[in-house]
């Protein structure tokens, strides 16, 4: 899978952990390989080895040692730890006050190694903050009805406050029907169409926002980035990341454009942005020349590229050519260690908020 999904903080950051602001790690937008986009000099059909030469990992060291000229790093690991500590404190307080422990149920279908890793990480994260976790593992050849049966059981279980169906599902399954079976009040992934619909409407707030876009916004808020009145570009329009990220930026009163596989001269559109959120799933797609000087860059992409010096034979890079962007942007998220840790942190936050709402606990 090309993309999964996916600092400085203000003193009022804790108060922002509201249900409106929201691994699965998330599967990001994929550019269609049959579509030609005018990129110079990078081409979307470039090989992994070619892409790996666009940027080097030395940028990480450079940022740490030359902060006068290079972008400030927005540290997702540090932010996610702060959020987890805040969630743990509230979970303990809720348990002491009313005897309720938030519960998160995860349903995994099949034996994909990456999905198993994601579920395992979520379980560990739940344990670390005091949230009770429930897990159902079903074989690859399970039917839609078998998955929905477990969803309905969790819908009716008062000890479960959040339900997550690990994506992607096997190809023979109807993802829409399965996700729609999740009770909207327990849809902590924020994928229910009513939640997305409320996000899109003026004057309406969703019960939950998809975790990766919520994590992107939280990074901006905690880094003190001004959004109101600014130009923002979201690269990618997936239901999981790109579209809800654009809607969140719009609700925060940014002027928003979306770059996608049919956008002509995408670098020109992106170069106008004060804020860039890239969720394309294409390694090193966004070059330094795409970035407006002083822009803030949030890189959702997690893409493997060949690296003979790595013991694994590859390394992970984002959608943004980090080394080039660091010389232009004012702040940027690294990959890994940027948006990725925020996704699980937002999932924990959503689960806590669900439990508080269900039990009317302030």
Q: Catalytic amino acids? A: 122, 166, 189
User: Whole-angstrom Cα distance, residue 5 to residue 24?
Assistant: 7
User: Whole-angstrom Cα distance, residue 227 to residue 307?
Assistant: 37
DSSP-derived 3-state class of residue 223: coil
Query: Which residues fall within 8 angstroms of residue 279, CB to CB, at 6 or more apart?
Result: 3, 5, 28, 29, 212, 234, 235, 236, 238, 241, 242, 245, 300, 301, 319
20, 19, 8, 5: which is closest to 224 by C-alpha? 8
How many residues in total does the chain contain? 362
Q: Are the beta carbons of 80 and 23 closer than 8 angstroms?
A: no
Q: Are the beta carbons of 243 and 237 closer than 8 angstroms?
A: yes
34, 44, 74, 4: which is closest to 240 by C-alpha? 4
User: Whole-angstrom Cα distance, residue 133 to residue 289?
Assistant: 45
Q: What separation in angstroms does the CA of 213 have from each of 4, 5, 34, 79, 242?
A: 13, 10, 27, 15, 8
Q: Are the beta carbons of 208 and 187 closer than 8 angstroms?
A: yes
């Amino acid at each position: 899978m090309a993309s999964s999904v996916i600092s400085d903080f203000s003193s009022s950051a804790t108060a922002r952990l509201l249900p409106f602001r929201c691994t699965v790690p998330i599967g990001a937008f994929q550019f269609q390989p049959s579509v030609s986009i005018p990129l110079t000099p990078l081409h979307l059909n470039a090989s992994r080895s070619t892409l790996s030469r666009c940027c080097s990992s030395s940028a990480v060291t450079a940022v740490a040692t030359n902060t006068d000229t290079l972008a400030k790093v927005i540290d997702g690991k540090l932010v996610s730890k702060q959020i987890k500590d805040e969630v743990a404190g509230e979970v303990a307080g809720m348990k002491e006050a009313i005897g309720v422990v938030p519960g998160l149920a995860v349903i995994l279908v099949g034996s994909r190694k990456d999905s198993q890793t994601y579920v395992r990480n979520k379980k560990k994260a739940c344990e670390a903050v005091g949230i009770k976790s429930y897990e159902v593992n079903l074989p690859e050849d399970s039917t839609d009805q078998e998955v929905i049966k477990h969803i309905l059981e969790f819908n009716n279980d008062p000890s479960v406050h959040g339900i997550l169906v690990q994506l992607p599902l096997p190809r023979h399954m109807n993802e829409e029907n399965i996700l729609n079976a999740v009770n909207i009040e327990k849809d902590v992934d924020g994928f229910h169409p009513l939640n997305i619909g409320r996000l899109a409407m003026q004057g309406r707030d969703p019960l939950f926002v998809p975790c990766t876009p919520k994590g992107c916004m939280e990074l901006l808020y905690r880094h003190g980035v001004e959004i109101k009145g600014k130009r923002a570009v979201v690269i990618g329009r997936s239901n999981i990341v790109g579209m809800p990220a654009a809607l969140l930026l719009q609700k925060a009163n940014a002027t928003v454009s979306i770059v996608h596989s049919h956008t002509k001269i995408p670098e020109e559109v992106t170069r106008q942005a004060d804020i860039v959120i890239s969720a394309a799933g294409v390694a090193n797609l966004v070059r330094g020349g795409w970035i407006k000087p002083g822009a803030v860059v949030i890189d959702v992409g997690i893409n493997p590229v060949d690296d003979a010096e790595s013991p694994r034979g590859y390394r992970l890079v984002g959608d943004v050519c980090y080394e080039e962007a660091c010389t232009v942007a004012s702040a940027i998220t690294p990959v890994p260690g940027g948006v990725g840790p925020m996704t699980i942190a937002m999932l924990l936050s959503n689960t806590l908020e669900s439990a508080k709402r269900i039990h009317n606990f302030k």
